Amino acid sequence: MTDSTHNSQTNGPLIVEGKHADNERLKAESNYLRGTITEDLKDNITGGFTADNFQLIRTHGMYQQDDRDIRNERAKQKLEPLHNVMLRARMPGGIITPTQWLAIDKFSREKTSYGSIRITTRQTFQFHGVLKPNIKLMHQTLNEYGIDSIATAGDVNRNVLCTTNPVESELHQEAYEWAKKISEHLLPKTRAYAEIWLDGEKIEGGTEEGEVEPILGKNYLPRKFKTTVVIPPQNDVDVHANDLNFVAIAEQGKLIGFNVLVGGGLAMTHGDKSTYPRKADDFGFVELAKTLDVAAAVVTTQRDWGNRVNRKNAKTKYTLDRVGVDTFKAEVEKRAGITFAESRSYEFTGRGDRIGWTEGFEGKHHLALFIENGRLLDKPNFPLKTGVAEIAKIHKGDFRMTANQNLIIAGIAAEDKAEIERIARAHGLMADNVSVQRKNSMACVAFPTCPLAMAEAERYLPGLVTDVEAILAKHGAADESIILRVTGCPNGCGRAMLAEIGLVGKGPSKYNMHLGGNIAGTRVPKMYKENLNEEDILQEIDSLVAKWVTERNEKEAFGDFVIRSGIIQEVIVSKRDFHD
Ligand code: SRM
Ligand code: SF4
């Protein structure tokens, strides 16, 4: 089965005319992402970055933040917010070595205010709370260990995801190599990062568009851009959240090419019907040799046709809906010098990580650890972070961060299994009583660090899951689960817009409830009830679960049930159905 939905075939203008958003000016004037960041770094009067640099540091993988729990208190004391940066590393496929892990562990303990390592929904880690005097040191430390944070934020192609399952290792290895190649190919070519953070040799920026950035251009992309390589039947990377996806097609275990899916994305804005989550469209199959050409062609088409006037409608998903899927696809074919072949058959059957031990290729063992919300921190009785560091000290394989915010200790030799499990259990990283429901639940960061959060997410999820576990048990379904995701605002970082129950922050302790995603992650859920408080949410889940367990067909998943039984309408074409 191929997952094909041509969302729309409109033929709107290729270019949106009008006054460009201010971000376009600042990118154009930035001298290829340099701005005046170096000068700003020397300014000790403020802990933050000023003017355009506030935005430009994003293209170097950092966001300026402050602790929202103490913001009002500091304002009362007439103090500037406690500015710091969050850093997000570039880790295609989420692979990190034990030596690299020990380095980031040390930095997070010694130089960040929160002391945590946060595994993200896009297979990498974030530091939160790095003060200005430590920023350069941070980049230099990471660089020493072969890690950078180039283009993990901003209007560029972000960290490239790759299915994490190491069981079919030969195929995974090939797919991972492509994730790395695509990441490198689409990376900004400017030397700004090396110059600013690593004291690299200064090279003049170039003046002609295309001279320095042949793919991204002088103004970079109209908006953020996200890419995955996925190995069916696992859809752990959630392809429909991404602008560009390469679905690995194998014959006799060897990778032969990719089906290409374009135009997924999950964000929306409350009250703005021109924004909506949207699934990616299937463009067809391409042979391996043309992979990078296709990647560049999709990126450059979006670069040239994406909306630079209104950032809310600037992502690839809106470009496809404006110009028409066939028009966009034909342009990609022209630019890549190919004709897409008919998509090869594949099927997605799930998205979760196989928590616990699995045995794979060449007699190696893998231990997937469930990390709630991806937050690695030493908590009383749960020294999770120390546990991972202790494992890193003896582990000879590597670590793989998953897009479900978990961590796989991959490639463990048989003789090391017992000791690694002992360490994991002793540090609270492995427990037999974690429910399937908890493993299938996810939340974004939200408070206290995210400036856009409207409601709690990461801090709300653990208690909510305990309540949902109790509801399932009450209805005799303790061993079952519903894909439950919470995001603190409609940007959707916790991918609630691909969940069976998705909660989207609306205001303090208020959420919109969406229903109807499916297990495979190929359906967008639709709003069921608006502005629910935490008590309402539990009541709604209680009555929905009661109906599900009594009225469902055999083995019918919750998300399928709510659609079949008419509780919610299926979203087939987002632009038409989502706000309907
Ligand atoms: Fe996200 C912005 C956290 C995955 C859609 N996201 C943010 C910021 C940086 C807030 C900001 O702009 O100041 C958040 C920082 C919070 C913090 O304190 O750490 C933030 N996003 C995250 C992470 C850490 C959530 C997590 O719990 O793991 C994820 C980091 C991924 C990474 O490593 O790169 C994260 N963000 C996502 C995803 C999910 C995905 O990609 O699979 C989405 C939805 C998919 C999509 O893009 O459509 C997502 N984040 C957004 C958006 C909305 C973009 C849009 O199309 O409008 C914003 C806001 C923006 O860009 O204007 C945003
Ligand atoms: Fe912040 Fe909203 Fe993303 Fe959550 S969904 S991390 S609240 S931007």
pLDDT in tens, 3-58: 434 445 567 899 999 999 999 999 999 999 999 999 999 998 888 998 899 999 99
Taking the centre of ligand 1 as the mean of its atom positions, its distance from the CA of residue 302, in whole angstroms, is 20
Output the residue whose Cα is nearest ligand 1's atom 21.
493
The tokens of 475 are what? 């209805």
The pLDDT of residue 199: 86
Above 70 in pLDDT, residue 497? yes
The pLDDT of residue 202: 63
Rounded to 10 deg, the angle between the 316-323 and 325-336 helix axes is: 110
Residue 424, φ and ψ in degrees, nearest 5? -60, -45
Taking the centre of ligand 1 as the mean of its atom positions, its distance from the CA of residue 491, in whole angstroms, is 7
Ligand 2 atom nearest to CA at 494: 5
Closest by CA to 131, choosing from 68, 41, 55, is: 41
Ligand 2 atom nearest to CA at 450: 1
Count of Cβ atoms closer than 10 Å to residue 58 Cβ = 21
Alpha carbons 460 and 509: distance in angstroms, whole number: 9
| Ligand 2 mutation pick, 375, 450, 485, max ligand atoms within 8 A of CB | 450
Looking at the annotation, which residues are catalytic?
Answer: 88, 158, 224, 226, 444, 450, 489, 493
The pLDDT of residue 203: 56
Taking the centre of ligand 1 as the mean of its atom positions, its distance from the CA of residue 555, in whole angstroms, is 34
- Binding pocket residue ranges, ligand 2, CB within 6 Å: 444-446, 450, 452-453, 457, 487-489, 491-493
Q: Bridge partners of 234?
A: 350
Bigger pLDDT: 166 vs 68: 68
Taking the centre of ligand 1 as the mean of its atom positions, its distance from the CA of residue 492, in whole angstroms, is 7
Alpha carbons 172 and 165: distance in angstroms, whole number: 7
For residue 418, give the amino acid letter.
A
The tokens of 410 are what? 């991959």
The pLDDT of residue 165: 75
Mean pLDDT over 106-125 rounds to 98
Ligand 1 atom nearest to CA at 265: 48
Mean pLDDT over 358-372 rounds to 90
Ligand 1 atom nearest to CA at 88: 33
Torsion angle of C-alpha atoms 5, 502, 516, 479, degrees rounded to 10? 120
Note the ligand closest to the C-alpha atom of 62.
1
Mean pLDDT over 496-514 rounds to 98
Mean pLDDT over 281-303 rounds to 98
pLDDT in tens, 416-457: 999 999 999 999 999 999 999 999 999 999 999 999 999 999
Taking the centre of ligand 1 as the mean of its atom positions, its distance from the CA of residue 87, in whole angstroms, is 13
Mean pLDDT over 266-283 rounds to 98
Above 50 in pLDDT, residue 205? no
Mean pLDDT over 388-397 rounds to 97
- Domains in the chain, start-ordered, CATH in brackets? 437-577 (3.30.413.10)
Taking the centre of ligand 2 as the mean of its atom positions, its distance from the CA of residue 171, in whole angstroms, is 34
The pLDDT of residue 200: 76
Above 70 in pLDDT, residue 1? no
Taking the centre of ligand 2 as the mean of its atom positions, its distance from the CA of residue 489, in whole angstroms, is 5
Taking the centre of ligand 1 as the mean of its atom positions, its distance from the CA of residue 312, in whole angstroms, is 14
| Ligand 1 mutation pick, 117, 491, 514, 574, max ligand atoms within 8 A of CB | 491
- The reported pTM is 0.96
The pLDDT of residue 45: 86
The pLDDT of residue 363: 82
Residue 461, φ and ψ in degrees, nearest 5? -60, -50
How do 84-88 and 62-65 pair as beta strands? antiparallel
- Binding pocket residue ranges, ligand 1, CB within 6 Å: 63, 65, 86, 88, 120-122, 124, 126, 152, 158-159, 224, 226, 238, 241, 265-267, 315, 374, 444-445, 449-452, 491-495
Alpha carbons 258 and 386: distance in angstroms, whole number: 40
Ligand 1 atom nearest to CA at 458: 27
Confidence of residue 360 (pLDDT cuts 50, 70, 90): confident
Q: For the chain, what is the radius of gyration of the CA atoms?
A: 23
Note the ligand closest to the C-alpha atom of 373.
1
For residue 384, give the amino acid letter.
L
Distances, alpha carbon 41 to alpha carbons 57, 159, 175, 196, in Å: 11, 25, 39, 10
| Ligand 2 mutation pick, 491, 503, 509, 512, max ligand atoms within 8 A of CB | 491
The pLDDT of residue 10: 64
The pLDDT of residue 9: 56
Above 50 in pLDDT, residue 559? yes
Ligand 1 atom nearest to CA at 124: 33
